[in-house]
Amino acid sequence: MLVVVLASWSQVVWSQQADNGQRVVLVMTDGLRWQEVFRGADASLLTPKRYFDGRDVSELEKEFLAATPEERREKLMPFLWKTMVPSGQIYGDRDAGSDAFVTNGLNFSYPGYSETLTGHGDPRINSNDNVLNPNLTVLAWLNHQPGMEGKVAAFGAWDVIASAVNPEKCGCAVNAGYAPFTMEPMTPRLEFLNRMKAETPEVWEGEPFDAPEFYTAMEYIKAKKPRVVFVSLGETDEWAHQNNYGEYLIAAHRVDAYLKQLWDTLQAMPEYRGKTTMIFLPDHGRGSGPDDWTSHGQKIPDAKYIFMAFMGPETPALGNRMHVEAVTQSQVAATLAKILGYDWNAVEPKAGLPVGAAVR
């Protein structure tokens, strides 16, 4: 069996396919519900009780509430709805006959990240324990393709993201949680970001706030110009678990601002301009009621529903997909690879097929 595995790995590593020079940035935000993405803020949840247990919400009501779902969602995520969706595609609007969901059956974080990066669920990934992913991810495989070596990177606010990527298999630049990040040459900004993480109170075990990890990824992109970048953010999930709907909305709004900042930065760089695709989705959904919106998992079936958005030169501008065939998280890995000119399904037959309409 060991010989078979090694032979398979060797074949996987050295079988080059048709690299087309494209770039991909995959952004995930933990546990952001499809409801807020497509309907905007829910006024019934935006109460003082659900904002630091008593803080005034009047300013948040002005910022995020409006008469229609379309207005509310644009207020919450303006870049997504004014730039990404019109220029690309989004799936998962259940009010418009579009379903997107996870297939691992567990509806929580590590299984969702693994499904996204490998294209399939795995019964061995059945907890959020910080253990190395035994599966080959599309990131690891791409990083070992001729001409792609050292051009893949992954950054995550949650420390388990490093294990989901598995640096030992990937061999790519990986940073997650409170771990400092080093590269050659180091920059003053990166040194400062490392200090920020080290000196910030650890509110959530193994997971700093999103800002230092996002800007660490940005610093790496500017310096090293990787072909494939994975960025995972976590505050949307953490605030939701604390029943803090106000801060959950603020975190989602900030993620949208990060998407814009990342996209604008890439379009200002000749290495990325006109040849970069952005993919955006969560690892899982959440409950749909006033009591279970804070939670997710196997016992909350609605938590399987997610959203998936794509924008780039390889993606036709079809906007908000309505009354279309369902898509799954298991299709992301093959879609990402196809955008770059590679066939992930030839490497991992268990993976979902690419989202057909999302790639020309």
Residues 46-98: tens digit of each pLDDT: 999 999 999 999 999 999 999 999 999 999 999 999 999 999 999 999 999 99
* CATH code (residue 154): 3.40.720.10
The closest of 247, 253, 235, 204 to 48, measured between CA atoms, is: 247
Residues 131-176: tens digit of each pLDDT: 999 999 999 999 999 999 999 999 999 999 999 999 999 999 999 9
DSSP state of 233: E
Burial group, residue 188, by CB count within 10 angstroms (0-12, 13-18, 19+): exposed
Percentage of the chain exceeding pLDDT 90: 94
How many domains does the structure of the chain reveal? 1
pLDDT score, position 181: 98
Domain assignment of residue 200, given as a range: 2-358
pLDDT score, position 17: 62
pLDDT score, position 18: 62
Q: Report helix angle 210-224 to 245-267, nearest 10.
A: 10
Q: What is the pTM of this model?
A: 0.95
Q: Report the DSSP pairing between strands 152-156 and 173-176.
A: parallel
Per-residue pLDDT band at 1 (split at 50, 70, 90): very low
State the DSSP string of 155-167.
EESSTHHHHHH-H
Tell me: pLDDT of 2 over 80: no
pLDDT score, position 3: 31
pLDDT score, position 10: 37
DSSP state of 183: -
Q: How many residues does the chain have?
A: 360
